[in-house]
Amino acid sequence: MQTAPDPSPAESASASPWLRHARTLTTLAILAVLCVVGLRYAGDLGRIATAKPLPLLWMAITVLGVRAFHSEIIRRTLAALGHRVAPFEVFALSVLAAVPNMLVPRSGFGALGVALRARHGVPLAASSSLILPLAVIDLMVVAVGGLWVQTLWFGFADPRAPWIAATFAGVFAVSGASLFLRLHLPFGPARVRSFLARLDDAWGRLRRSGHFLRRTCLLLAGISALRALRLWFAFAALGVTPEPAGLLISSLLGDVMFLFALTPGALGLREAAIVYCAGLSGVTPAESLAAAVLDRLLLVGVTLGLAQLCGWKLFGRPRVRL
């Protein structure tokens, strides 16, 4: 009995165009809903044009601090796996890798991995092993910080408190379970199984290193603190003084949205989390939205400008042939 041949990948893709574009459609739908909801609190967005310059300068400095801490984590993780790269080069590549994240969610690590392989021969399995530990540990640090702040300062009396606590607790449980995730695949193409085996080996080496875990947790806590400080300066630039504990909860919940990255750079999701916690921060939702949008605009502007400088410094001026 003659069987029909298996469809080619191209035929399968053409047979399900909605499946191929599901992620893009989902992203657009999320952004559309967030924009419609955000219009209710857009009354203070005009204050962004009159933002104070000194807090903006401090916001730019915190962006540089976050990038420096992030690149240091990558450099030390690569060193733990046997790949030593100069600090500035890792910093420049991490800044350049942040640009694709503004267009496609979680695409920066792919660009970083390709660059490290091309320039230093770092296997993609090694660079890919950065994704899982950094994401897992970052989520755990954010969740523990959020639960700690909420327990000490807010409790559960506020109507939003149980939902916020449940979010942090769920994130901690899922990320904690991921620490024991094994990536071995008993079936499938040999190249895929080999890649996952190397990835699992690299992740296992990092997971067993207490020094790596302590150092990474400390640096990731510093990154979360700098993001909260940047949000504080965003409010200060608009002439608003939020409650410190509530602002920290807002920023940490926004970090959870940023790490999930359902939209490019968590666009709209981080802002929604900050607006949701406006009452805990002692500010109005309109003021929270204005501060969150200002935070986003400055983050994008500084990152793009820094990427230009890093690209010029790292790759030099193009040669002109006469």
Question: CA geometry: angle at 291 spanning 285 and 294, to 5°?
Answer: 140
CA atoms within 13 A on the CB side of 316: 3
Closest CA to 301 of 111, 48, 25, 112: 48
Q: How many residues does the chain have?
A: 322
Asked if residue 224 lies in contact with residue 251, where contact means CB atoms within 8 angstroms, the answer is yes
DSSP code string of 86-98 = -HHHHHHHHHHHH
Quote the tokens at residue 78. Answer: 């690569």
Asked if residue 233 lies in contact with residue 251, where contact means CB atoms within 8 angstroms, the answer is no
Asked if residue 133 lies in contact with residue 148, where contact means CB atoms within 8 angstroms, the answer is no
pTM equals: 0.81
pLDDT of the chain along its 322 residues, tens only? 444 444 433 433 343 455 556 666 666 776 676 677 677 777 788 899 999 999 999 999 999 999 999 999 888 888 877 788 889 988 998 898 888 888 776 666 677 878 888 887 887 766 666 666 677 788 889 999 999 998 888 777 778 888 899 999 998 988 777 777 666 666 666 666 666 666 666 667 666 777 777 888 899 999 999 999 999 999 999 999 999 999 999 999 998 887 676 777 778 888 888 998 988 889 999 999 999 999 999 999 999 999 999 988 887 655 545 4
* Residue that has been written with the tokens 């092993």 in this structure: 129
Q: Which amino acid is located at 312 in the chain?
A: W
State the Cα–Cα distance between residues 155 and 207, nearest whole angstrom.
Answer: 33
Extents of the domains making up the chain: 49-315
Closest CA to 67 of 30, 35, 112: 112
